[in-house]
Amino acid sequence: MSPSVKVKERIALGTKTERKLEKIDVLDKGYVRLVDVMGDDLRVVNAARVSYAKESKQLSDKDIRLIKFLAREGHTSPFRHAMLSFEIYAPLMIARQWWKYVVGSDHVMDAWNEASRRYITMEPEWYIPDENAWRSKPDHSKQGSGEPVDRAIGREATQRLKRQLEEGLKDYEWALEAGIAPEQARLLLPSAYGMYTPWYWTASLQSVAHMLNQRLAHDAQAEFQAYARAVYELVKPYFEHSLAELLKNKEI
């Protein structure tokens, strides 16, 4: 197996002893798994210094200053020689926003492979916020959420969702048994925004940082912030300096 195939828990070099994680659970049934990493801070530096025809072997203070300079001046191409692959399991409403930041931005060094309900028979699972997890409308913004709603309202929301899932699932199963094609039967799937979907995402460090800059922000949907935080924790030990600079001025 190639040395880059497995991301293992291990002791990081450098000043800190850091435990590298493979996988972080998110929401009630989701997760982010770091599948692989290519490159490190030194790689960014060496890509930027290609003209000097020699490779630094260890990250110097001068190298760290170069990383700061590149991030500050928007010279982002060296950060595209570092790549990361993730496996993600998240509700469709998150998958669609995530995708939007892939396409909608110009950050195209991304690969994406996602399961499709057109033919798979994978058991459907749903994100079901518990009674404390429902949030009110924000006061002064067109997007995001405000404070939690009253407990009683939260309780009813969870109940309504569960009942809708239960009844809708009966419709869906009836349709499959009645021989309706899966690509059409899915019209009867309840709460599709909350249905979990798995996908593979491969992206450059620049693209990952772009997503983090947007989705760690306060007006991002709370569920997405949870995924962004997991991505952040998984990536940080591998690109200590580059990630810090690309996310500068973000209090995380």
The set of catalytic residues is 215
Taking the C-alpha atoms of 89, 91, 94 and 100 in order, what is their torsion angle to the nearest 10 degrees? Answer: 80
- Residue in 9, 15, 17, 51 binding its own copies, rule: CB under 8 A: 51
- The answer to the question of residue 132 lying near its own copies (CB under 8 A) is no
Residue 154 to residue 121: CA distance in whole angstroms = 32
Q: How far is the CB of 251 from its own copies (least distance, A)?
A: 19
Considering only residues 10 to 39 of the shown chain, the ones binding its own copies according to CB under 8 A are 13, 35-39
Q: Which is nearer to its own copies, 62 or 119 (CB)?
A: 119
Smallest gap, in angstroms, from Cβ of residue 110 to its own copies?
Answer: 7
Residue 100 binds its own copies (CB under 8 A): yes
Contact status: 108 vs its own copies (CB under 8 A): yes
By the rule CB under 8 A, 252 interacts with its own copies: no
| Separation of alpha carbons 212 and 79, rounded Å | 15
The residue among 48 and 230 lying less far from its own copies, judged by its C-beta, is 48
CB of 116: closest distance to its own copies in angstroms? 7
Mark 59-78 with x for binding to its own copies (rule: CB under 8 A) and - for no binding.
Answer: -----------------xxx
* 3-class DSSP state of 210: helix
Q: Which of 120, 252 has the CB closer to its own copies?
A: 120
* Residues in binding contact with its own copies, number by CB under 8 A: 106
Residue 142 interacts with its own copies (CB under 8 A): yes or no: yes
Residue 165 CA to residue 158 CA, distance in Å, equals 10
Q: What is the rounded distance in angstroms from the CA atom of residue 129 to the CA atom of residue 28?
A: 8
Print burial letters for 225-250: b (CB count within 10 Å at least 16), e (below 16): bbbbbbbbebbbbbbbbbbbbbbeee
CA distance 205 to 15: 22
The tally of CA atoms less than 13 A away on the side-chain side of residue 202 is: 9
